[in-house]
Amino acid sequence: MKKFFVLAGAVVLSSSLFAQKPTADNPFSIEGQLSYNTSSLSFNAPSLRMRYFWADDMAARVSLTIANSSTKDYYYELANNAGGEGTEVNKVSLTMISLGAEKHFAGTDKLSPYVGADFVFGMGNSSAKWDKFDGSGYSADFTATAKNPTSMIGLNLVAGMDYYFAENFYFGAELGLGFQSVSNKAGEFESTTGGSTTTILSEPSKSSSFGNNFIGNARIGWRF
């Protein structure tokens, strides 16, 4: 589950590419966001955001994120990486939708400050598979699988700005204060040793968090 929370947090702490400045004839802005994980200093799956300006100073926005990660580790029977081979595979998937609005204030021809809010809904799943690895070392007759579905809901309040350094290009940044509630559904762990299978079910659980976040955005855009 730790990997799921790291992934979800990475989606919130993101930098963005590909945006376009709205005009009177075209009130839409589309952004492709590339998420940056400040914990591991690595990039994660991209997301999409669309903004619609129904007035000069008001915009609705919707974001979609589909993120997946997978790791595979190898464990060997002998210290010199010889003999039998065991593996451990961990996967995390996350789908998140954010719905919100922005209020823009008078700035300059290049600077557009705003405040806003997002409602965030997400669901995901973490899973693991062990083959000839029992968690401590190589084990020729051991296999196991585990899975844990998860969902979340949250609210994020933001203050930010867009700075247009050219007609169709701008940089942006947001400072956010957010709350999220995460629900872990009943998980399942199934292991087999020497032909004997054991299944363990985990109890559902909930957790919540509240805190600030910083979102740095660099956007390169075009008009259509």
pLDDT tens-place string over residues 172-187: 777 778 888 989 888 8
Mean pLDDT over each residue of the chain, to the nearest integer: 78
Residue 41 lies in a domain: yes
Specify the number of domains making up the chain: 1
Residues 6+ apart with CB under 8 A from 136: none
Angle at 70 between CA 44 and CA 193, to 5 degrees: 160
Residue 38 lies in a domain: yes
Mean per-residue pLDDT, 97-110:
87
Model confidence at 46, in pLDDT bands (50, 70, 90)?
A: low
Percent of the chain predicted with pLDDT > 70: 72
- Asked whether residue 50 carries a pLDDT value surpassing 50, the answer given is yes
The whole-model pTM stands at 0.71
> The domain containing residue 192 runs over which residues?
2-219
Residue 224 lies in a domain: no
Q: Which of 38-47, 71-80, 115-124, 125-134 is predicted with the least confidence, judged by mean pLDDT?
A: 38-47
Residue 88 lies in a domain: yes
SS3 5: helix
